[in-house]
Amino acid sequence: MEFGLSESQEFLKDSARKFFAGECPSVEMRRLMETGTSYDVALWSKLTEQGYTGIIFPEEYGGVGLGKVELMLLMEEAGRALLPGPFFSTVVLAGSVLEAVGTVTQKKKYLAPICRGEVRATVALVESTSSWNPRDVQLGATNGKLSGEKLFVTDAAIADFIIVVAHNGVFLVDSKARGLKISPMSGMDLTRKLYAVEFSNTPAEEIGGTKELARALDIATAALAAELVGGMQRTLDLTVEYAKTRKQFGKPIGMFQAVQHQCADMYLETESSRSAVYYAGWALEENSPDAPTAVSIAKMYASDAARTVGNRGIQIHGGMGFTWENDLHLYYRRAKASETAFGDATFHRERIARLVIDEGAVSAKHA
Amino acid sequence: MDLNLALEELQFRDELRDWLRANVPHDWSEWREKPIEESFPYLRAWQRKLHEGRWAAVSWPKEYGGRSATLTQQAIFWEEMARVEAPPMANALGLGLIGPTIIAFGTEEQKKRFIPKILSAEEIWCQGFSEPNAGSDLASLQTEARLDGDHYVVNGQKVWTSYGWVGNWCELVVRTDSNVPKHKGLTVLLIDMRSPGVEVRPLRQMTGESEFNEMFFRDVRVPVENVLGKVNDGWNVAVSTLMHERGAYGARLHPLFKRNINRLIELSRKFQKNGCAAAQDPLTRQKLAQCYAEIEIMRMNQLRAFSRISATGAPGPEGSIQKVFWSELNQRLQQVAQEIFGPYGQLLGGDSHAVDNGIWSYGYLRTRGNTIEAGTSEVQRSIIGHFVLGLPKSY
Predicted-complex ipTM score: 0.96
Q: Write out chain B residues lying below 8 Å of A364, CB-based.
A: 296, 299
**pLDDT tens readout for residues B89-145:** 999 999 999 999 999 999 999 999 999 999 999 999 999 999 999 999 999 999 999
Domain carrying residue B65: 7-90
**Same domain (yes/no): B131, B212:** yes
Answer whether residue B101 is part of any domain. Answer: no
Burial bucket for residue A290 (CB in 10 Å: 0-12, 13-18, 19+): buried
The residues pairing with B192 across neighbouring beta strands, listed in sequence order, are B169
Distance from the A13 Cα atom to the nearest Cα atom in chain B, whole angstroms: 13
pLDDT at residue number B359: 95
Confidence of residue B28 (pLDDT cuts 50, 70, 90): very high
Phi and psi angles of residue B329, each rounded to the nearest 5 degrees, phi first? -65, -40
Candidate from A252, A265, A276 with C-beta closest to B297? A276
Higher-confidence position of B175 and B304: B175
Give contacts of B258 with chain A, Cβ < 8 Å: 363, 367
Long-range (24+ apart) CB contacts under 8 A made by A14-19 are A15/A50, A16/A50, A16/A52, A16/A73, A16/A74, A16/A77, A16/A78, A17/A77, A17/A80, A19/A46, A19/A50, A19/A77
Residue A279 distance to chain B (closest CA, Å): 7
- Judging contacts by C-beta atoms under 8 Å, the chain B residues touching residue A244 are 390-392
Q: Are residues B83 and B16 in the same domain?
A: yes
Examine the domain organization and report whether B253 and B153 are in the same domain: no
Residue-level pLDDT at B312: 76
Q: Is B256 on the interface with A (CB under 8 A)?
A: no
Q: Same domain, yes or no, for B74 and B134?
A: no
Residue A192 has pLDDT above 70, yes or no: yes
Q: Sorting pLDDT into bands at 50, 70 and 90, what band is B251?
A: confident
User: A4 and B3: CB-CB below 8 Å?
Assistant: no
Q: Is B278 on the interface with A (CB under 8 A)?
A: no
Residues B265 and B371 in one domain: yes
Specify the number of domains making up chain B. Answer: 3
Q: Is there a single domain that holds both residue B276 and residue B365?
A: yes
User: pLDDT (tens digit, 9 = 90+) per residue, A295-343?
Assistant: 999 999 999 999 999 999 999 999 999 999 999 999 999 999 999 999 9
Cross-strand pairs, B174: B187
| B104 within domain boundaries | no
pLDDT confidence band for A366 (50 / 70 / 90): very low
Chain A positions touching B279 (Cβ under 8 A) are 357-358
Residues 25-84 of A with CB under 8 A from B: 69
Last residue of a domain, one of B233, B258, B282: B233
User: Could you tell me if B131 and B257 lie in one domain?
Assistant: no
Query: Would the CB atoms of A1 and B325 count as touching at under 8 Å?
Result: no
| pLDDT at res. B314 | 65
Q: Is the pLDDT of residue A361 over 60?
A: no
In a domain, B110, yes or no: no
pTM of the model: 0.95
Domain annotation for chain A: domains and CATH numbers: 7-115 (1.10.540.10), 121-208 (2.40.110.10), 213-358 (1.20.140.10)
259-318 in chain A: CB under 8 A from chain B: 260-261, 263-265, 267-268, 271-272, 275-276, 278-279, 282, 286, 293-294, 296-297, 300-301
pLDDT of residue B209: 87
Distance from CA of B183 to the nearest CA of A (A): 22
Residues sharing a CB contact under 8 Å with residue B392, sequence separation 6 or more, in sequence order: A244, A251, A252, A254, A255, B386
Cβ distance of B301 and A254 shorter than 8 Å: no
pLDDT for B309:
82
Q: Which residue of A has its CA nearest to B73?
A: A1
Q: Average pLDDT of B197-209?
A: 95
A280–chain B nearest CA distance, Å? 10
Instruction: Tell me, yes or no, whether B226 and B303 share the same domain.
Output: no
Q: Which among A1, A6, A252 is the nearest to B6, CB-wise?
A: A1
Q: What percent of chain A is modeled with pLDDT above 70?
A: 98
Residue A260 and residue B289: Cβ atoms within 8 Å?
no
B261 and B158 in a common domain: no
Would the CB atoms of B391 and A1 count as touching at under 8 Å?
Answer: no
Yes or no, beta carbons of B307 and A4 under 8 Å apart: yes
B171 touches chain A (CB under 8 A): no
- Residues B286, A349: C-beta atoms closer than 8 Å: yes
Write the pLDDT tens digit of every residue in A87-129.
999 999 999 999 999 999 999 999 999 999 999 999 999 999 9
Contacts of A297 in chain B (CB under 8 A): 293, 296-297
Instruction: Output the pLDDT for position B316.
Output: 55
Domain end marker among B90, B117, B139: B90
Tell whether the model's pLDDT for residue B1 goes beyond 80.
yes
Euclidean distance between CA atoms B383 and B239, whole angstroms: 13
The nearest CA of chain A is from the CA of B117 a distance in Å of 33
| Cβ contact B281:B273 at 8 Å | yes
B336 with B384, same domain: the answer is yes
Short-list B142, B117, B147, B119, CA closest to B129: B142
| Collapsed DSSP state (helix, strand, coil) of residue B164 | coil
Instruction: Assess whether B245 carries a catalytic annotation.
Output: yes
Q: Are B385 and A254 within 8 A, CB to CB?
A: yes
Q: Is A11 on the interface with B (CB under 8 A)?
A: no
3-state secondary structure of A202: strand
Closest CA to A23 of A95, A94, A77, A88: A77
Q: Which bin fits B161, alpha (ψ -120 to 50), beta or left (φ > 0)?
A: beta
Is residue B71, in this structure, part of any structural domain at all?
Answer: yes
Pairing label, strands A194-203, A180-185: antiparallel
pLDDT averaged over every residue in chain B: 94
Q: Are residues B329 and B282 in the same domain?
A: yes
pLDDT of residue B245: 62
Least Cα separation, residue A224 to chain B (angstroms): 18
Query: Could you say which of B245, B266, B294, B296 is catalytic?
Result: B245
Last residue of some domain: B90, B117, B137? Answer: B90
In a domain, B139, yes or no: yes
Residue B33's pLDDT is what? Answer: 82
Query: Residue A362 pLDDT more than 60?
Result: no
**Residue B35: band (very low, low, confident or very high) from pLDDT cuts 50, 70, 90:** confident
Q: What's B224's domain CATH number?
A: 2.40.110.10
Do B229 and B252 fall within a single domain?
A: no
Question: Are A4 and B389 inside 8 Å of each other by CB?
Answer: no
pLDDT at B27: 94
Which pLDDT does position B242 carry in this prediction? 79
- Let me know if residue B365 belongs to a domain: yes
Contact A9 B1 (CB under 8 A): yes
Give the pLDDT confidence of A268-304 residue by residue, as tens digits: 999 999 999 999 999 999 999 999 999 999 999 999 9
Which pLDDT belongs to residue B306?
87
How much is the pLDDT for B160?
95
Give CA angle at B337 (B288, B273), nearest 5°: 75
Residue B322: closest C-alpha in chain A: A268
Interface check A7 vs B, CB under 8 A: no
Assign B175 to helix, strand or coil.
strand
